């Protein structure tokens, strides 16, 4: 299925240029799905908002009602606690005969209720009014109603008398003015229900209810706090506070919810919730306004989505124009190179992938001329190389034939010493001059080093004892050429083995657990640590050098990598030991690729 789809897409877009393919791809993969999803998401969001209007509104009304009830209960509790304090009732009811008892009562009141007046925010005044003739008025917390202005235009005596005549124990009163206030009055009654005083609380309206009532539901509705006598204690519209609900525009809506909790009339949702003390919280919410705001939100989301889609199309077209133009310029320059003009380049402005390609193209164009010239010179040198190769083939044959002739003449004359030397030279050069391969059997490598040792033994007869320790099982394994002869040669040339007393060279080839181990040990003059370090680095040391050992190490790395190792141990006047380790190769090893 996947391959069939790939073939169909390639077949349909085969005749389109790169820009067309990318535009179609962007439209099918990004633009069209985004538009469809955006419109669908906007529609579903609008429907979901409409479906959840009532749930959201009712939850908002519930939370607001709880907040209003909590605040009212907090101040009610404070006033009730003070009005039902048994000790306070007892002290306000008794008859005082001396000033000491009165001072004790004043101290008790201050001690018990001074801190209480600061429990809640917004308390502007806290007083305890009484009419006990034998108890003083201290002007702090204890007061007697007199011909004074309590707040606004309200007289203390008139207020006290209205509270005493009211059937309600607790009353809330709204006091308008430049700073709106609320007055809470709580009767203080004794056991026989007779009133011995009144708790007076003056509250800042904005602190208590103003923050909740102003612009509720994000400005899409109004709130009303109604007491048990259906008087409005607090409202979003402060002009109707203190009025009866029947005397306001809420009258018809209030009647519509009698026996129910809520109703929707002319696009307005009105609901009433009961709170503590038979008070009620009413909420009026403009449904049309909320729906209009929700619709505007959805339309704004769709509009922003469309705007950014159009902006993305514009940016994609600009990028495509830049990419296609740069590719075309590269194509034109490549055509120039195909016509033989190598002096071309492309201006590079960007650090993107095409910029890297332009840099590589400029480098390639700059090097192609040199490569063409090198190829021309290589063709001119090809003929000369062929003559040199022919000469390289003739020279070894000439040497072999000449040595064979000398060997035959020596045998004919009975000169066995000369015949032996010529035979060793023949074996040595036959293996040394064989350039067909850089690898050989260990058997042939052993023949080569033996031929060299035979020649040196003829030069230095009875001077050096050669000890051979060879495992037969390694003879048919492969090794690289010329790894033993240069080491043995170092024993003669640099180690001056022939000058030593009881001189010996031990040559060993052993099979080890990890491969094959070559060992060449002598008791020559050895090397000091400084010279040994130079030899291991392949640097020139006096008349000798370490190039042969360095060459062996490099060829071991070339054919065997980290598995080919060579170690050198040497002490001055004690000799030198060279150890070579390489894998056991049944087949010819090849040069390893780098990396």
pLDDT, tens only, 131-172 = 999 998 888 889 999 888 888 788 889 999 999 988 888 888
Using the predicted structure, report yes or no on whether residue 273 has a pLDDT greater than 50: yes
pLDDT score, position 291 = 64
Per the CB < 8 A criterion, the answer to whether 511 and 471 are in contact is yes
- Higher-pLDDT residue of 185 and 372 is 185
Residues in the chain: 595
Query: What mean pLDDT comes out for the span 312-329?
Result: 75
* Per-residue pLDDT at 177: 75
For residues 142 and 128, is the Cβ–Cβ distance under 8 A?
yes
pLDDT interval class at 581 (50, 70, 90): very high
Residue 246, SS3? helix
Sign of the torsion angle spanned by Cα atoms 451, 453, 459, 463: negative
Higher local confidence (pLDDT), 185 or 391: 185
pLDDT for the residue 263:
82
CA-to-CA distance for 368 and 403, rounded, in angstroms?
A: 50
Mean pLDDT, the chain, rounded, equals 81
H or E element in which residue 268 lies: strand 268-274
- Would you put residue 566 in left (φ > 0), alpha (ψ -120 to 50) or beta? beta
Res. 393 pLDDT band, cuts 50 70 90: very low
Checking if the pLDDT of 438 tops 90, the result is: no
The residue extents of the domains of the chain are 53-287, 337-387, 437-582
Q: Measuring CA to CA, how many Å separate 518 from each of 119, 486, 506, 573? A: 100, 13, 11, 23
pLDDT at position 536 over 80: no
pLDDT for position 458: 84
1-15, 230-244, 297-311: which has the highest mean pLDDT?
A: 230-244
The DSSP secondary structure of 561-573, one letter per residue, reads GGG-EEEEEEETT
Helix (H) or strand (E) holding 159, with range, is helix 156-165
- For the CA atoms of 79, 80, 85, 90, the dihedral, rounded to the nearest 10 degrees, stands at 90
Kindly indicate the confidence band of residue 435, based on its pLDDT and cuts at 50, 70 and 90. Answer: low
Among 65-79, 359-373, 516-530, which stretch is predicted with the lowest mean pLDDT?
Answer: 359-373
258 against 145, higher pLDDT: 145
Measured between alpha carbons, how far is 463 from 564 in angstroms, rounded to an integer?
33
Q: For residue 394, what pLDDT band results from cuts at 50, 70 and 90? A: very low
Distance CA 517, CA 556 (A): 13
- In angstroms, rounded to a whole number, what is the distance separating the alpha carbons of residues 542 and 388? 34
Compute the C-alpha angle 91/92/97, nearest 5°.
Answer: 70
The set of residues, in sequence order, having a beta carbon less than 8 Å from that of 390 and lying 6+ positions away, is none
The tens digit of pLDDT for each residue in 83-114 reads 889 999 999 999 998 999 999 999 998 888 88
Residue 384 scores a pLDDT above 60: no
CA distance 92 to 339: 120
Dist. CA 98–CA 10, nearest whole Å = 113
- pLDDT score, position 216: 82
If one looks up domain 437-582 in CATH, what number appears?
Answer: 3.30.565.10
Most confident of 17-31, 304-318, 408-422, 459-473: 459-473
The one-character DSSP state at 30 is I
pLDDT of amino acid 397: 53
Q: For the whole prediction, is pTM greater than 0.75?
A: no
Examine the pLDDT at 12 and tell me if it is beyond 50. yes
Average pLDDT estimate for 6-29: 70
Report the percent of the chain where pLDDT is more than 90: 16
* Distance of alpha carbon 564 from alpha carbon 519, whole angstroms: 14
**β-pairing, 478-480 with 464-470?**
unpaired
- Over residues 197-221, the mean pLDDT reads 85
Helix (H, G, I), strand (E, B) or coil at 430: helix
Share of residues in the chain with pLDDT > 70 (%): 81
Does pLDDT of 341 surpass 80? no
Q: Which CATH superfamily, name and number, covers 53-287?
A: PAS domain (3.30.450.20)
């Amino acid at each position: 299925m996947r391959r069939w789809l790939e073939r169909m897409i390639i077949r349909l877009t085969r005749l389109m240029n790169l820009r067309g393919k990318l535009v179609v791809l962007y439209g099918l993969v990004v633009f069209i799905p985004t538009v469809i999803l955006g419109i669908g998401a906007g529609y579903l969001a609008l429907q979901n908002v409409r479906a959840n209007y009532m749930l959201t509104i009712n939850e908002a009304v519930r939370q607001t009602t709880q907040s209003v009830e909590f605040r009212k209960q907090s101040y009610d509790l404070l006033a009730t606690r003070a009005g039902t304090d048994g000790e306070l009732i007892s002290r306000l009811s008794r008859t005082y005969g001396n000033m000491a008892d009165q001072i004790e009562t004043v101290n008790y009141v201050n001690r018990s209720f001074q801190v209480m007046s600061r429990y809640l925010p917004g308390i502007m005044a806290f007083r305890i009014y009484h009419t006990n003739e034998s108890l003083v008025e201290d002007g702090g917390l204890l007061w007697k109603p007199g011909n004074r202005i309590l707040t606004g235009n309200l007289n203390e005596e008139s207020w006290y008398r209205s509270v005493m005549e009211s059937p309600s124990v607790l009353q809330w009163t709204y006091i308008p003015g430049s700073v709106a206030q609320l007055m809470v009055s709580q009767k203080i009654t004794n056991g026989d229900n007779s009133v011995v005083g009144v708790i007076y609380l003056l509250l800042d309206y904005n602190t208590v209810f103003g923050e909740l009532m102003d612009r509720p539901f994000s400005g899409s509705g109004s709130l009303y706090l109604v007491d048990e006598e259906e008087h409005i204690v607090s409202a979003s519209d402060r002009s109707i506070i203190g009025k009866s609900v029947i005397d306001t525009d809420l009258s018809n809506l209030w009647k519509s919810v009698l026996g129910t909790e809520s109703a929707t009339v002319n696009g307005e949702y009105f609901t009433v919730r009961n709170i503590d003390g038979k008070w009620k919280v009413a909420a009026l919410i403009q449904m049309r306004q909320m729906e209009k705001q929700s619709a505007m939100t959805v339309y704004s989301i769709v509009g922003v989505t469309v705007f950014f889609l159009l902006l993305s199309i514009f940016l994609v077209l600009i990028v495509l124009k830049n990419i296609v133009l740069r590719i075309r310029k590269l194509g034109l320059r490549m055509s120039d190179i195909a016509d033989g003009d190598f002096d071309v380049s492309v201006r590079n402005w960007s650090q993107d992938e095409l910029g890297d390609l332009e840099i590589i193209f400029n480098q390639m164009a700059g090097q192609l001329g040199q490569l063409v010239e090198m190829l021309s010179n290589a063709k001119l040198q090809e003929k000369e190389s062929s003559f040199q190769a022919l000469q390289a083939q003739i020279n070894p044959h000439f040497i072999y034939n000449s040595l064979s002739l000398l060997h035959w003449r020596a045998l004919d004359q009975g000169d066995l010493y000369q015949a032996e030397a010529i035979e060793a030279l023949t074996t040595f050069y036959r293996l040394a001059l064989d350039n067909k391969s850089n690898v050989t059997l260990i058997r042939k490598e052993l023949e080569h080093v033996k031929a060299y040792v035979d020649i040196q033994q003829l030069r230095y007869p009875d001077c050096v004892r050669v000890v051979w320790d060879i495992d037969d099982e390694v003879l048919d394994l492969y090794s690289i050429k010329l790894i033993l002869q240069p080491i043995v040669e170092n024993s003669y040339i640099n180690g001056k083995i022939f000058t030593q007393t009881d001189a010996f060279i031990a040559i060993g080839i052993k099979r080890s657990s990890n491969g094959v181990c070559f060992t060449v040990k002598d008791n020559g003059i050895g090397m000091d640590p400084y010279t040994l370090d130079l030899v291991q680095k392949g640097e020139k040391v006096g008349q000798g050098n370490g190039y042969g050992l360095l060459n062996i190490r490099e060829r071991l790395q070339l054919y065997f990598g980290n598995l080919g190792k060579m170690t050198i141990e040497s002490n001055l006047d004690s000799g030198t030991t060279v150890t070579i380790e390489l894998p056991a190769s049944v087949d010819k090893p090849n040069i390893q690729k780098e990396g």
